[in-house]
């Protein structure tokens, strides 16, 4: 059955809009992403994802420490392949570490990790994380070269970047008779087939929402979707528990029919 990993970064973004730089003491402000994780679990989340960025723009070290102790499902730590983040992951031991590119000026992660362009560094980081007992994932574009490089570096999982698909979906109004949308979806599907043929897990994520998630959830062999902004946005109206439940129901319906 397809699984849902809920990214709660933007719960922390809302908190930091008011509490950034404050002398917190024991009060870290609200909304608390740790409480949001609990609500997501109750809504049916199979995993919780957070991205601890170098500049700590949203998720803080305190958040990751508490989440590792309190989350009852899988904890996925998104991270840059830096020595600082590898050391943190080795110490905390999340269930999964997902390596992503990271830019200071970006609002959210844009584009996949260039595994092929840095094979030695990737193999070294993956080796350290796997030695610490972690499942290691690469967030990559739907590019056969990046899939093969991820396999060669020792990654267990490839999460295919669905941002380009989401952009085409919006531009075409989701009309699957349009060639450009068919091609965008097939690109993700073909990458998934190659990932699975090489013995890795096929996940996907980025810019997925309640309108465009169905075709991705219905792809062959897909195991898990990671979705954040759409769920956090929906939770403003229906609560985190309800927003997660709605997304999980959509994914399950399309996965069963796919």
Which among 10, 38, 58, 206 is annotated as catalytic?
206
Q: What ranges make up the beta strands (E) of 52-208?
A: 74-79, 96-99, 135-140, 157-161, 201-205
pLDDT over threshold 70, residue 27: no
pLDDT band at residue 235 using 50, 70 and 90 as cut-offs: very high
Active site annotation includes 206: yes
- CB neighbour burial string for 1-16, b if at least 16 within 10 angstroms, e if fewer: ebbbbbbbbbbbbbbb
The three-state secondary structure class of 29 is coil
- Distances from the Cα of 54 to the Cα of 64, 82, 101, 184, 210, angstroms: 13, 9, 11, 32, 30
CA 117 to chain centre: 22
Among candidate residues 41, 78, 159, 224, the one labeled active-site is 78
pLDDT tens-digit map of 65-94: 999 999 999 999 999 999 999 999 999 999
DSSP strands (E only) in 67-210: 74-79, 96-99, 135-140, 157-161, 201-205
pLDDT digits (tens, 9 = 90+) for 188-204: 999 999 999 999 999 99
**Residue length, the chain?**
258
| C-beta atoms surrounding 129 within 10 Å | 28
What pLDDT sits at residue 88? 98
User: pLDDT band for position 8 (50/70/90)?
Assistant: very high
pLDDT of residue 19: 84
Per-residue confidence band for 102, with pLDDT thresholds at 50, 70 and 90: confident
- CATH number 1.20.58.740 is the correct assignment for the domain at 3-19+29-257: no
Q: Is 15's pLDDT higher than 80?
A: yes
Select which of 10, 38, 51, 58 is catalytic.
Answer: 51
Active site residue 78: yes
Instruction: Using pLDDT thresholds of 50, 70 and 90, give the confidence band for residue 110.
Output: low
φ/ψ of residue 48, rounded to 5: -120, 130
Per residue in 213-232, pLDDT (tens digit) is: 999 999 999 999 999 999 99
Domain segments of the chain as ranges = 3-19+29-257
Q: In the structure, what pLDDT confidence band is assigned to residue 56 with cuts at 50, 70 and 90?
A: very high
Are 28 and 249 a contacting pair, CB within 8 Å? no
User: What band does 61 get if pLDDT is binned at 50, 70 and 90?
Assistant: very high
pLDDT at 25 over 90: no
Measured distance CA(59)–CA(16) in Å, rounded: 9
pLDDT of 256 higher than 70 = no
Q: What pLDDT sits at residue 257?
A: 58
Q: Is 51 among the residues known to form the active site?
A: yes
């Amino acid at each position: 059955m397809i699984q849902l990993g809920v990214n709660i970064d933007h719960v922390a973004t809302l908190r930091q809009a008011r509490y950034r730089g404050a002398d917190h003491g024991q009060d870290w402000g609200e909304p608390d992403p740790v409480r949001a994780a609990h609500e997501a679990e109750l809504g049916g989340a199979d995993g919780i994802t957070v991205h601890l960025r170098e500049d700590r723009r949203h998720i803080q070290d305190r958040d990751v420490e508490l989440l590792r102790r309190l989350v009852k499902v899988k904890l996925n730590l998104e991270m840059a392949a830096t020595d600082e983040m590898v050391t943190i992951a080795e110490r905390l031991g999340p269930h999964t570490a997902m390596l992503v590119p990271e830019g200071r000026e970006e609002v959210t992660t844009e584009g996949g990790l260039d595994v092929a362009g840095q094979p030695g560094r990737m193999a070294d980081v993956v080796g350290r994380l796997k030695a610490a007992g972690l499942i290691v994932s690469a967030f990559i574009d739907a590019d056969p070269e990046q899939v093969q490089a991820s396999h060669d570096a020792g990654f267990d999982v490839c999460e295919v970047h669905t941002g380009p698909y989401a952009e085409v979906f919006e531009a075409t109004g989701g009309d699957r008779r349009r060639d450009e949308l068919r091609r965008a979806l097939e690109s993700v599907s073909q990458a998934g087939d190659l990932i699975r043929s090489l013995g890795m897990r096929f996940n996907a994520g980025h810019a997925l929402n309640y309108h465009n998630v169905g075709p991705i959830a219905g792809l062959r062999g897909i195991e898990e979707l990671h979705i954040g902004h759409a769920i956090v946005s929906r939770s403003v109206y229906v609560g985190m528990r309800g927003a997660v439940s709605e997304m999980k129901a959509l994914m399950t319906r399309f996965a069963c029919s796919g």
